[in-house]
Amino acid sequence: MMESRRFISRTPLHFTILVFAAIWLIPTLGLLITSFRDPANIAGTGWWTVFPKLFSGGQYSLENYIGVLRGEGLARSLLNSLTISVPATAISTFIASFAAFGFAWMHFGGRKILFMLVVGLMVIPLQMTFIPILPIYSKLKLAGTFPGIWLAHTAYGLPLTTYLVHNFMAGIPKDLFDSASIDGASPFMTFWRIVIPISVPALASVFIFQFLWIWNDLLVALVYLSAKPNVAPLTVSIANLVTNRGQDWELLTAAAFVSMVLPLVVFFSLQRFFVRGILAGSVKG
């Protein structure tokens, strides 16, 4: 009885939320529907006209997707995006976890200053690093290579990543380390067998953060991959597509969804870690 009354009193709230959700989703829905229609239909009628006959198959096709993946080479770009994002995220999370542990639980001279320095690097705008770094990259022949961009993304991501993981690790009860010390664990063993397993929520959320950021990045890719088509990620390819085939909405919408699928999957499947990870520093249980 109480619950239904509460539900009813919250109706204005629910309604407002639904309205906002609709406002956000409707354009996306439009794009999704458009991506399945052929060019003639798109040019002739609005996407909302499908609604009366929503489920009749004939008006939909996968032509656009095939065209964009095969014809415009987005399949290759998808692979490139993966090749860039996964290793870069993995390396950066890996290094950050070691660094965070060192800053949180090991005692060495200059620890505080070094930590502030690393986190302080967040202040530097990306754009300012391009001009100094590119000549170095050219000399080292890293420009236009995957290792080059992995290095770049790792460096850009480390300050925030280290900070977030450190936040979590610093909250681990000291007792646990005392106990491990008495049990006979070396610092590395403590790190590997105790801290890392406990830190999984924080590491997972940091991984997601980084992954999504790198996947959606256009600028760093453009700069460090010198727009070479065979290593271009989705972001670059789609940007080019907009330039070259700007009027071909059927291709653009299909391309947009190709680039969205993976992050959506990653986000929804690991979402519980993400939320837990954000709170991980605040509530220790």
Which residues form the interface with another protein (CB under 8 A)?
A: 173, 175-176, 178-185, 189, 193-194, 197-198
Judged by beta carbon, residue 189 or residue 265, the one nearer another protein is 189
Find how far residue 109's CA is from the centre of its chain.
35
Residue 85, both tokens:
């994002």
Judged by beta carbon, residue 5 or residue 107, the one nearer another protein is 107
For the CB of residue 189, give the shortest distance to another protein in the complex, in Å: 6
For the CB of residue 125, give the shortest distance to another protein in the complex, in Å: 39
Judged by beta carbon, residue 182 or residue 283, the one nearer another protein is 182
Judged by beta carbon, residue 30 or residue 187, the one nearer another protein is 187
For the CB of residue 280, give the shortest distance to another protein in the complex, in Å: 13
Closest by CA to 237, choosing from 76, 63, 64, 39, is: 76
For the CB of residue 207, give the shortest distance to another protein in the complex, in Å: 18
* Alpha-carbon gap, residue 163 to 91, rounded angstroms: 16
Find how far residue 39's CA is from the centre of its chain.
32
Which residue pairs from 96-102 have beta carbons closer than 8 angstroms and sit at least 24 positions apart in sequence? 96/157, 96/158, 96/161, 96/162, 96/164, 96/165, 96/206, 97/165, 97/196, 97/199, 97/203, 98/191, 99/158, 99/162, 99/165, 99/166, 100/162, 100/165, 100/166, 100/168, 100/169, 101/169, 101/191, 101/195
* Alpha-carbon gap, residue 218 to 184, rounded angstroms: 48
* Alpha-carbon gap, residue 97 to 99, rounded angstroms: 5
For the CB of residue 193, give the shortest distance to another protein in the complex, in Å: 8
Judged by beta carbon, residue 73 or residue 171, the one nearer another protein is 171
Judged by beta carbon, residue 81 or residue 190, the one nearer another protein is 190
For the CB of residue 89, give the shortest distance to another protein in the complex, in Å: 23
For the CB of residue 59, give the shortest distance to another protein in the complex, in Å: 53
Judged by beta carbon, residue 106 or residue 117, the one nearer another protein is 106
Dihedral sign from CA coordinates of 65, 67, 68, 71 = positive
For the CB of residue 185, give the shortest distance to another protein in the complex, in Å: 6
Find how far residue 45's CA is from the centre of its chain.
35
263 near 212, Cβ under 8 Å? yes
Judged by beta carbon, residue 3 or residue 175, the one nearer another protein is 175
